[in-house]
A and B are shown apart, each in its own frame.
Chain A
Amino acid sequence: EPEVTQTPSHQVTQMGQEVILRCVPISNHLYFYWYRQILGQKVEFLVSFYNNEISEKSEIFDDQFSVERPDGSNFTLKIRSTKLEDSAMYFCASSPDRAIQETQYFGPGTRLLVL
């Protein structure tokens, strides 16, 4: 069964460094998402992406964050200058069509630790 994959599974970085989290969505899906979950807290929406542009973003998704689909398969989340509070599990998700009436399929996550 097709699934969303994410790399790396764990990432440790120093505060102020740039990180790129990578995702390979399910191949025939059109919508892509990033969520994050700070330890012990809710899963929070960051951004959605469709047709090579951001379709919606949350307040969390400030200028330090960017997303890109550099080729036909990868979907990346970049954090330009990491802060301690960026430490979280980051989940990529994809869906065949808009969130309405459609399931979002999540990847296994990347655990980011900012020191």
Chain B
Amino acid sequence: SQQGEEDPQALSIQEGENATMNCSYKTSINNLQWYRQNSGRGLVHLILIRSNEREKHSGRLRVTLDTSKKSSSLLITASRAADTASYFCATEYNTDKLIFGTGTRLQVFP
């Protein structure tokens, strides 16, 4: 079974709008992390939320975690063209490895 599934798979918005991406997972977690990947490039860590946290902010990013629903959301407020990228959630539970989701491709039009 797939641990992380993001939706939508693709999202297109205008600059200044908010972008919301969701991640669902199947097993227990210790933490959930969001990463950004520009096309063909490396993974940039955005934010980590622990299983006992419900919401976290970092600049224009807001992440929520609902462990009862096994889901998380990433909100990017006042989006910019430079936010265009793929966004992945990744979960960790009592192992060394991160399990990545399928990703949401975000396109922000100027």
Q: Spell out A's residues near B (CB within 8 Å).
A: 31, 33, 35, 42-45, 48, 50, 55-56, 58, 89, 91, 93, 98-101, 103-109, 111
Most central of B33, B50, B100, B102 by chain A CB within 10 Å? B100
11 A-B pairs in the complex with CB atoms less than 8 angstroms apart:
A33-B96, A35-B98, A43-B98, A44-B100, A56-B96, A100-B30, A101-B31, A101-B50, A103-B45, A104-B45, A109-B41
Q: Nearest chain B CB to A30's CB is how many angstroms away?
A: 11
Write out the residue numbers on chain A whose beta carbons fall within 8 Å of the beta carbon of B35.
Answer: 106
Q: Spell out B's residues near A (CB within 8 Å).
A: 4, 30-31, 33, 35, 40-45, 48, 50, 88, 90, 92, 94-103
Write out the residue numbers on chain B whose beta carbons fall within 8 Å of the beta carbon of A58.
Answer: 97
A99-B100 CB under 8 A given contacts A91-B42, A106-B44: no
Closest chain A residue to B31, Cβ basis:
A101
Q: Nearest chain B CB to A5's CB is how many angstroms away?
A: 10
Say yes or no: A101 contacts B33, CB within 8 Å: no
Say yes or no: A45 contacts B31, CB within 8 Å: no
Q: Nearest chain B CB to A43's CB is how many angstroms away?
A: 4
Write out the residue numbers on chain B whose beta carbons fall within 8 Å of the beta carbon of A100.
Answer: 30-31, 92, 94
Q: Nearest chain A CB to B72's CB is how many angstroms away?
A: 16
Write out the residue numbers on chain B whose beta carbons fall within 8 Å of the beta carbon of A48.
Answer: 96-97
Q: Give CA–CA (A50, B103) in the complex, Å.
A: 29
Say yes or no: A45 contacts B45, CB within 8 Å: no
Write out the residue numbers on chain A whose beta carbons fall within 8 Å of the beta carbon of B40.
Answer: 89, 111
Given contacts A42-B102, A99-B96, A100-B94, 19 further A-B contacts (CB under 8 A): A33-B96, A42-B4, A42-B100, A45-B98, A48-B96, A55-B96, A91-B43, A98-B96, A99-B92, A99-B98, A101-B31, A101-B50, A103-B48, A104-B98, A105-B45, A106-B42, A106-B45, A109-B42, A111-B40
Instruction: Give 6 closest A-B pairs by Cβ, nearest first.
Output: A48-B96, A45-B97, A108-B42, A106-B43, A43-B100, A56-B96
Write out the residue numbers on chain A whose beta carbons fall within 8 Å of the beta carbon of B45.
Answer: 103-106
